[in-house]
């Protein structure tokens, strides 16, 4: 049984208002999975700066290179942040 089958993960799709091109590939949407404690621990252990921690955490949840996140328009980055914050709301039922 795969990890995905043991622990189904909710995912939210984020449509970018300002698509980016990263490593020759156009990215017009991102998929963010619900965070786990393990994700936060990894980001915390690898970075001291809060912004670096957040970027690393988002790269894990979005399954993209952190360098691609640096290329996001601020409006799209706000969408990423809002999606993450929605996952953290008590009783959030983002099941898909």
For 5-62, how does the pLDDT look when each residue is reduced to its tens digit (9 = 90+)? 555 678 999 999 999 999 999 999 999 999 999 988 888 787 677 788 899 999 999 9
Return phi, psi of residue 43, to 5°.
Answer: -65, -40
Instruction: Specify the pTM.
Output: 0.82
Nearest to 69 by CA among 59, 79, 82, 60: 59
Q: Which sequence spans correspond to the domains of the chain? A: 3-88
More confident residue, 44 or 69: 69
Question: What pLDDT is stored for residue 52 in this prediction?
Answer: 84
Q: Kindly list the distances between the CA atom of residue 15 and the CA atoms of 18, 38, 46, in Å, as whole numbers in the listed order.
A: 9, 26, 29
Question: What pLDDT is stored for residue 48 in this prediction?
Answer: 77
């Amino acid at each position: 049984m795969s990890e995905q089958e043991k622990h189904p993960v909710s995912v939210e799709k984020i449509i970018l208002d300002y698509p980016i091109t990263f490593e020759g590939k156009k990215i017009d949407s991102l998929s963010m999975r619900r965070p786990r404690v393990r994700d936060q621990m990894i980001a915390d252990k690898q970075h001291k700066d809060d912004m670096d921690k957040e970027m690393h955490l988002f790269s894990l949840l979005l399954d993209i290179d952190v360098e691609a996140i640096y290329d996001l328009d601020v409006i799209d980055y706000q969408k990423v942040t809002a999606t993450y914050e929605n996952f953290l709301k008590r009783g959030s039922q983002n099941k898909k």
